[in-house]
């Protein structure tokens, strides 16, 4: 091993799960990363590696990626920026299993800041010591779960003894040794440790570990016969300062024992060398020459800086000592005395008795200048000096850092040349690299530059004040008075102020006035000329606007200009760390209201750059100019920079714009878009008159359109035109009014009713619309023409919003009333002729419409058009029947001859709602303020889904409330976004609290491994969302047409692998997360960025978002517990022979949703299309999703999922499109196998030695019931649990990461609350159900409340035939949308109407095969009658290892489903088991 960096890099690579490497300033590259790449190639190991760019915040990267890792390494070369960023987050970092390896050369000034930040601070001076201390640091961090700083010198001396990879692993995983335990190396050369040798915490050795050691090989001073351990005139060691803190040193001591047993080398916290009875003891913190010796001087090298044990310090100071010095290798210090020096002084002062010891602090820098002569001279000259500041050794003055001027890449000169060209001598770069040699590296930061500028403005204010005061002094010459007056007039004019300034100075000097104001003006004369002040920085400032100092500059209000250079090429925009999201500094600056902002690109428009820079300089206040300069290195040709700039600007990735707040104050448009290509594209878009752009776009002035809705003049012109046309029709026609009434649950009947009304109005009729229940018999009796449109619900029942009127009609008919003597009516009914296939059920088809038509006639009404029937099974669905029925209506009303020339408006769809929502805002905020109703507007209920919220009502009491004249009992379901399904005990307790305070007292574990609350009323929505966010969870994108909660396998036994896939799940989730700020504005009361002036930007989704939902899952074979093939996108983990994750097979096109009776809809399993690496995964997910975004069906939502897109395009074409967007082909898929998709219940131990227990939570409902206080029990567990909770995709719960010592306590609580009961049948343990009634608005039948009851009866059959413990996957849903993934179950039931279900058979046991419809309508008696003989045959005839789904296919009950498109083929059973359908 060639040097210390290589040695430390190797150990960090082999020991760590996560590596975070800080990158140096360009063009330098990290020495650590080069070694990491080399080790990755030679070892095959692949820890998660993250690079922090110069100026980035390493602490946030560590906290974000290392919170769940077993060991985290941070590597960096020492800089003040890195030290400050780590100190700011020290509290959070100190409790992580983290080692911070920081390399130094000849200065400890920066790293000494970190001494108090973490529990342990190690220092290494040689490469071998760096190797050994690295092992010690990792042992400490892993065992004690605390952060360790390891500072080491960059030496090129060889590491003579390298610890093997196997020994490193054993060291990290070996049992913890107690301090003082015995250790005897095999050859006995390194001494021994004996319990008897421990006195007051000291270990006395001949050549041991923790004791002091003299160079002669004799015992250390405290071992040389001093009675009672008395040293250097002190009292007994027992009186020495107590350990600070003793426990930390004991932890260090235990780790040291383990490390020494591994390396067979001593490793001392304080190393003593020199004479036995010195008059001077020199503690050394720094790299001194090894051969440095002085008579009467002993040197103590400090290797353990924290904890700094007082007893150990006293131990190495013999009684002969009269002088103690501290030699520190420092160039500067933020305090007069360093903390280490003060600690030594405190130790000596507190324990000193009879004699005084001179204590001195000496700083040195260059080791080459240190020799025995120079040190002797300094010690001799200061032998009696009580210094008031540290002494200096060597020629270097440590007043400031000796740093080189930062290199400015040559491409960036293009912008600085423009500044120089425009402003010439007036230009001042306030953070110029030229300041670094005199003021340190901090001089280039925004904070420093801002402070410098603020000081200049304050001095100029003093200058102005002095000039004004001098002008009022009597006796000054007219020439001087005139010069001063001219300067005050032109002081802010750069071109004039310089000439006048020279005149003022010359006049003052010639006047020879003895005046304080004159002296001050001359002293401040550098500020007489006006200057253009600029701060120039990189896009690294945009990653953390607050910590970088950019926020302070923007918010200062000072007249300062900031130029931020963004060098990320357009083609490399996705290669950055996806966790480190770059903030939009432009939008951020606009939000302050007084900041000029421009976005420019010199290789796109030179003139635009000039214009923006001059406008920025003229603006009196802060200005931010974002400048694009894409290059990879200094060797990047200018032509490549030009190409990348063109790509970025033309695509809209880097828009050119200017924002001038002064214009806004004048009532002018402040925002100007200067990108020609974007303007042209936008103009073409505005000109398109299609069903999407018509709603929100017309053709006003372009700049206005960017910040407002349709122009007022255009709207007014349309109003007038429409009014004139309408008046003309009314004058020309004399037709009766038409009332359109509808009853609709799903919205289809309502859509046709509105279509009828709109077409009636277009023909000049006076038309109105309403629900059937909005009319009473009395009101209806006064109408002349009424058209009824009704759909069919349940078992031939009327829809919910028509039932009251239906009941009133039946009651009136029963009494023999005939109230409709003047009413003329027509009825159009919608239904599905195949929904009830059995002959005895055929009368349910369109039953409400048929009964309504005959009932109206019975009540005295006269039919003006025959009954119309719309059938979902027709080629065009209900449209086929409607096209026949509607002309008959117009003919009866006498308007059939009217030609309607103006196209009727298209119905408002979800696509219209999304694009008009202003990136998911809609009128949600206004709706929350409306206390007159418990509901939100219908359009807003579509948007709240994107925020994780569904509007529902209690369907159990819906009829009762309607009878009372009250609106439905509205409430909301809230779903949490929790990638990977992992939460902390604190988060669990908050979810528990929210369910009690704002929900219905329960919460649900969903099939997407997250929490779901029900019964939240409108006024509790915001407090609930805010409560969720308080524990660092959210609900954004938990629902809606976006990527939803990413789930992954729970796999408790594979702790390390789970950590990798869990982190990958979070990575994909965050990468595909919508970027709209609407969520934070509406629910968290964050201010709208830049008002209405600048709209949100969705880089992935755009303003239309996706055609439908998009689901992603990550699975680890052989357990398919997430049903990977049911997802739009699946990642199947592939591991190497060592169990290390190497990548994923990619599966696309899965989906469960179906519409009853619509054979254009079907479930589908995902297809595996290739393999990708872990690093490629997020980008693969993005490209698959974007292909669906661009090719998905936006016309028919029922056919909008990715599965239909793939079947329409063809899998090969779809794959080629994805690979085209990726820029490379996916590798061939790797082999894998699955053997189940159910959870493994009970206790297990993970690879890391921690315990896990999987609990059965029936259908995921966490609640308290009589004798089953599950919710309370889990609450009590969360209060004491130190690990995590994992929610499974099968709706169960894993209490994870339980320490061995905590297992008995957890078991006691599980038993107390009966959570450990797993005495259930295999059928029940394998079951799953969705929520359905009473809250789900889509439910057609019971599910969660009914499945346990059904299982009670079915499991008796199983037990009767000896199948109690056999797993049969049974699932139930209340509607065909498939939330519980029923189409993969071996036996499933899908609700069609209350008490009636679709029955499906033949699914694969591990989710590899779809089931098929066996019966289209079954009730409970029929279910039991079908299953009993089937289960009996299975028990008697099954093959070895054959599962139920496979058996029913082999036994001939059902045909296998080979692919989704064939799902309906051979449905209804096979042969003698086939169902007879209605003809």
The helix/strand/coil state of 1224 is coil
Q: How far is CA 1018 from CA 935, 945, 973, 1014, in A?
A: 7, 14, 10, 12
Q: What is the dihedral of CA 881, 887, 893, 899, to 10 degrees?
A: 140
Look at strands 767-771 and 1327-1329 and give their pairing: unpaired
| Alpha-carbon gap, residue 759 to 904, rounded angstroms | 7
Taking residue 342's Cβ as centre, other Cβ atoms within 10 Å add up to 14
Q: How far is CA 691 from CA 240, 527, 910, in A?
A: 85, 62, 12
The helix/strand/coil state of 66 is helix
Residue 1036's nearest CA partner among 949, 917, 1124 is 949
Q: How far is CA 930 from CA 922, 961, 1084, in A?
A: 14, 21, 18
Q: Which of the residues 85, 977, 1044, 1415 is marked catalytic?
A: 1044
Place of tokens 């093997």: 164
Which strand ranges, in their side-by-side order, compose the sheet holding 1387-1393? 1327-1329, 1370-1373, 1387-1393, 1396-1401, 1412-1418
Look at strands 358-364 and 323-329 and give their pairing: parallel
Q: Which of the residues 983, 1048, 1172, 1379 is marked catalytic?
A: 1379
Q: Which of the residues 983, 1172, 1358, 1375 is marked catalytic?
A: 1375
Residue 412's nearest CA partner among 596, 278, 538, 599 is 538
Residue 292 tokens, joined: 């440095």
Q: Which of the residues 85, 146, 1109, 1189 is marked catalytic?
A: 1109
Query: Is 955 annotated as catalytic?
Result: no
Given a contact cutoff of 8 angstroms between Cβ atoms, the answer to whether 1062 and 1048 are in contact is yes
Query: Is 1172 annotated as catalytic?
Result: no
Given a contact cutoff of 8 angstroms between Cβ atoms, the answer to whether 191 and 208 are in contact is yes
Query: Is 1183 annotated as catalytic?
Result: no
Given a contact cutoff of 8 angstroms between Cβ atoms, the answer to whether 393 and 362 are in contact is yes
Residue 223 tokens, joined: 């071992």
Q: 771: which strand partners?
A: 742
* Total length of the chain: 1479
| Alpha-carbon gap, residue 848 to 1172, rounded angstroms | 54
Residue 136's nearest CA partner among 164, 162, 172 is 172
| DSSP 8-state code for residue 793 | B
Q: Which of the residues 1048, 1336, 1371, 1381 is marked catalytic?
A: 1336
Measured in whole angstroms, the distance separating CA 1181 from the mean position of its chain's CA atoms is 15
Residue 33's nearest CA partner among 67, 70, 76 is 76
Q: What is the greatest pairwise CA distance in the chain?
A: 127
CA end-to-end span of the chain: 84
Q: Which of the residues 267, 1039, 1330, 1358 is marked catalytic?
A: 1330
Taking residue 1160's Cβ as centre, other Cβ atoms within 10 Å add up to 11
Q: How many alpha carbons fall within 13 Å on the CB side of residue 409? A: 23
Residue 137's nearest CA partner among 3, 8, 287 is 8
Measured in whole angstroms, the distance separating CA 638 from the mean position of its chain's CA atoms is 37
Q: Is residue 247 exposed (0-12), middle (13-18) or buried (19+ Cβ within 10 Å)?
A: exposed
Q: Which of the residues 531, 1111, 1381, 1412 is marked catalytic?
A: 1111
**CB contact burial 1037-1075 (16+ within 10 A = b; e otherwise):** bbbbbbbbbbbbbbbbebbebbbbbbbbbbbbbebbbbe
Measured in whole angstroms, the distance separating CA 593 from the mean position of its chain's CA atoms is 29
| Alpha-carbon gap, residue 1266 to 500, rounded angstroms | 91
Given a contact cutoff of 8 angstroms between Cβ atoms, the answer to whether 585 and 550 are in contact is yes
| Alpha-carbon gap, residue 1051 to 609, rounded angstroms | 56
Query: Is 1044 annotated as catalytic?
Result: yes
Q: Which of the residues 312, 975, 1164, 1183 is marked catalytic?
A: 975
Report, as residue numbers or ranges, the catalytic residues. 975, 1044, 1109, 1111, 1330, 1336, 1375, 1379
């Amino acid at each position: 091993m060639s040097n210390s960096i290589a040695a430390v890099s190797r150990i960090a690579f082999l020991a760590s799960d996560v590596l975070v490497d800080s990158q140096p300033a360009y063009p330098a590259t990290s020495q650590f990363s080069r070694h990491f790449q080399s080790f990755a190639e030679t070892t095959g190991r692949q820890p998660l590696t993250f690079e922090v760019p110069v100026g980035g915040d390493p602490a946030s990267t560590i906290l974000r990626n290392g919170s769940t890792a077993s060991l985290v390494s941070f590597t960096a070369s020492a800089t003040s920026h890195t030290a400050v960023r780590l100190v700011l987050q020290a509290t959070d970092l100190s409790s992580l299993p983290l080692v911070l390896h920081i390399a130094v050369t000849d200065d400890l000034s920066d790293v000494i800041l970190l001494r108090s930040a973490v529990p342990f601070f190690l220092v290494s001076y040689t490469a071998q010591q760096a190797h050994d201390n690295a092992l010690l640091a990792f042992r400490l961090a892993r065992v004690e779960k605390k952060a360790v700083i390891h500072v080491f010198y960059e030496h090129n001396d060889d590491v003579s003894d390298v610890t093997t990879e196997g020994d490193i692993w054993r060291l990290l995983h070996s049992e913890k040794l107690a301090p003082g335990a015995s250790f005897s190396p095999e050859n006995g050369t390194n001494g021994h440790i004996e319990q008897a040798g421990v006195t007051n915490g000291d270990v006395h050795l001949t050549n041991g570990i923790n004791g002091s050691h003299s160079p002669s090989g004799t015992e250390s001073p405290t071992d040389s016969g001093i009675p009672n351990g008395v040293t250097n005139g002190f009292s007994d060691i027992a009186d020495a300062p107590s350990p600070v803190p003793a426990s930390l040193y004991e932890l260090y001591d235990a780790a040291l024992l383990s490390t020494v047993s591994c390396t067979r080398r001593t490793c001392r916290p304080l190393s003593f060398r020199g004479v036995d009875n010195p008059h001077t003891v020199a503690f050394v913190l720094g790299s001194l020459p090894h051969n440095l010796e002085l008579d009467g001087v002993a040197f103590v090298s400090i290797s353990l800086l924290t904890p700094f044990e007082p007893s150990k310090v006293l131990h190495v100071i013999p009684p002969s000592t009269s002088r103690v010095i501290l030699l520190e290798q420092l160039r500067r210090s933020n305090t007069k005395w360093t903390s280490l020096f003060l600690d030594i002084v405190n130790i000596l002062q507190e324990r000193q008795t009879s004699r005084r010891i001179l204590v001195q602090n000496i700083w040195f820098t260059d080791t080459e200048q240190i020799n025995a002569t120079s040190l002797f001279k300094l010690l001799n000259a200061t032998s009696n000096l009580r210094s008031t500041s540290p002494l200096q050794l060597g020629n270097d003055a440590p007043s400031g850092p000796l740093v080189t001027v930062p290199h400015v890449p040559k491409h960036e000169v293009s912008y600085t040349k423009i500044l120089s060209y425009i402003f010439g001598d007036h230009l001042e770069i306030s953070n110029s690299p030229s300041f670094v040699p005199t003021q340190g590296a901090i001089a280039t930061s925004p904070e420093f530059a801002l402070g410098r500028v603020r000081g200049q403005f304050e001095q100029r204010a003093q200058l102005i004040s002095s000039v004004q005061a001098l002008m009022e002094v009597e006796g000054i010459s007219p020439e001087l008075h005139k010069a001063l007056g001219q300067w005050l007039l032109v002081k802010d004019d750069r071109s004039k102020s310089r000439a006048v300034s020279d005149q003022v100075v010359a006049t003052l000097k010639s006047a020879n006035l003895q005046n304080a104001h004159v002296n001050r003006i001359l002293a401040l004369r550098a500020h007489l000329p006006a200057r253009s002040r600029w701060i120039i920085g990189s896009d690294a400032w945009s990653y953390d606007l607050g910590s970088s100092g950019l926020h302070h500059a923007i918010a200062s209000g000072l007249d300062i200009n900031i130029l931020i250079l963004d060098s990320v090429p357009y083609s490399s925009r996705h290669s950055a760390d996806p966790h480190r999201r770059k903030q939009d500094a432009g939008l951020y600056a606009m939000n302050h209201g007084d900041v000029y902002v421009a976005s420019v690109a010199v290789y796109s428009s030179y003139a635009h750059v000039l214009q923006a820079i001059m406008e920025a300089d003229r603006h009196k206040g802060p200005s931010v100019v974002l400048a694009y300069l894409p290059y990879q290195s200094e060797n990047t040709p200018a032509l490549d920079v030009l190409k990348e700039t063109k790509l970025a600007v033309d695509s809209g990735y880097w828009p050119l714009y200017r924002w001038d707040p002064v214009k806004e104050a004048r009532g002018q448009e402040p925002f100007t878009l200067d990108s020609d290509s974007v303007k042209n594209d936008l103009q073409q878009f505005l000109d398109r008159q299609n069903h999407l752009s018509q709603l929100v776009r017309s053709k006003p002035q372009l700049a206005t359109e960017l910040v407002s809705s349709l122009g007022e003049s255009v709207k007014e012109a349309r109003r007038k035109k429409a009014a004139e046309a309408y008046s003309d029709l009314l004058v020309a026609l004399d037709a009766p009014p038409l009332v359109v009434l509808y009853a609709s649950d799903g919205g289809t009947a309502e859509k046709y009713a509105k279509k009828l009304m709109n077409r009636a109005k277009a023909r000049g009729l006076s038309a109105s619309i309403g629900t059937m229940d909005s009319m009473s018999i009395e009101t209806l009796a006064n109408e002349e023409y009424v058209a009824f449109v009704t759909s069919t619900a349940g078992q031939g029942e009327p829809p919910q919003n028509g039932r009251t009127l239906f009941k009133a009609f039946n009651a009136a008919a029963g009494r023999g009333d005939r109230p409709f003597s003047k009413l003329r009516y027509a009825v159009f009914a919608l239904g599905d002729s195949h929904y009830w296939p059995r002959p005895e059920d055929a009368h349910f088809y369109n039953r409400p419409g048929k009964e309504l038509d005959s009932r109206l006639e019975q009540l005295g009404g006269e039919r003006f058009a025959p009954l119309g029937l719309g059938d979902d099974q027709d080629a065009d669905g209900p449209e086929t029947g409607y096209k026949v029925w509607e002309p008959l209506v117009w003919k009866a009303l006498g308007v059939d001859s009217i030609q309607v020339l103006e196209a009727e408006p298209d119905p408002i769809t979800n696509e219209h709602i999304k694009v008009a929502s202003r990136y998911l805002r809609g009128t949600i905020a206004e709706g929350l303020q409306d206390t007159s109703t418990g509901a939100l507007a219908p359009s807003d209920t579509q948007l709240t889904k994107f925020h994780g919220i569904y509007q529902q009502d209690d369907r159990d009491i819906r009829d009762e409330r309607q009878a009372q004249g009250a609106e439905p009992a509205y409430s909301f379901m809230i779903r949490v976004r929790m990638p990977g399904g992992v939460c902390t005990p604190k988060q669990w307790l908050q979810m528990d609290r929210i369910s009690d305070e704002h929900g219905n007292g329960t919460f649900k574990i969903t099939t997407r491994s997250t929490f779901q609350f029900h019964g939240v009323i409108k006024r509790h929505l915001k407090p609930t969302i805010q409560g969720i966010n308080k524990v660092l969870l959210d609900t954004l994108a938990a629902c809606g047409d976006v990527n939803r909660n990413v789930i992954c396998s729970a796999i408790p036994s594979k702790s390390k692998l789970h950590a990798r896939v869990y982190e990958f799940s979070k990575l994909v989730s965050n990468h595909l997360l919508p970027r709209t700020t609407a969520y934070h504005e509406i629910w968290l009361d964050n201010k709208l960025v830049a008002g209405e002036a600048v709209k949100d930007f969705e880089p992935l989704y755009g303003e239309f978002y996706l055609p439908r939902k998009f689901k992603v899952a990550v699975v680890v074979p052989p357990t398919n517990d997430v049903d990977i093939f049911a997802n739009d996108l699946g990642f199947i983990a592939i591991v190497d022979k060592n169990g290390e994750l190497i990548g994923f097979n990619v599966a696309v096109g899965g989906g469960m949703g179906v519409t009853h009776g619509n054979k254009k809809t079907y479930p589908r399993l995902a297809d595996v299309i290739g393999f990708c690496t872990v690093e490629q995964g997020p980008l693969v997910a993005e490209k698959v999703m974007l292909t669906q975004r661009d090719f998905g069906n936006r016309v028919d939502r029922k056919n909008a999922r990715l599965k239909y897109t793939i079947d329409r395009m063809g899998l090969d074409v779809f794959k080629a499109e994805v690979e085209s967007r990726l820029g490379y082909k996916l590798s061939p898929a790797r082999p894998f196998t699955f053997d189940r998709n159910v959870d493994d219940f009970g206790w297990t131990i993970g690879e890391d030695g921690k315990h896990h227990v999987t609990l059965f939570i029936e259908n995921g409902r966490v609640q308290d019931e009589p004798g089953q206080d599950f919710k309370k029990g889990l609450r009590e567990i969360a209060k004491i649990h130190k690990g995590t909770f994992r929610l499974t995709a099968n709706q169960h719960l894993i209490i994870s990461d339980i320490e061995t010592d905590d297992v008995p306590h957890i078991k006691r609580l599980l038993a107390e609350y009966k959570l450990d009961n797993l005495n259930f049948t295999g059928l029940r343990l394998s079951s799953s159900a969705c929520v359905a009634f009473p809250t789900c608005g889509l439910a057609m039948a019971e599910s969660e409340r009914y499945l346990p009851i059904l299982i009670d009866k079915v499991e008796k059959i199983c037990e009767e035939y000896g199948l109690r413990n056999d797993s049969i996957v049974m699932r139930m849903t209340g509607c065909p949308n498939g939330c519980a993934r029923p189409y993969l179950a071996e036996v499933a039931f899908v609700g069609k109407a209350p008490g009636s279900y679709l029955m499906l058979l033949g699914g694969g046991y591990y989710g590899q095969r779809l089931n098929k419809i066996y019966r289209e309508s079954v009730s409970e008696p029929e279910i039991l009658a079908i299953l009993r003989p089937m289960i009996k045959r299975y028990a008697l005839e099954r093959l070895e290892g054959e599962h139920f789904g496979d058996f029913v296919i082999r036994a001939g009950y059902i045909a296998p489903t080979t692919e989704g498109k064939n799902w309906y083929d051979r449905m209804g059973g096979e042969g003698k088991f086939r169902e007879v359908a209605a003809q």
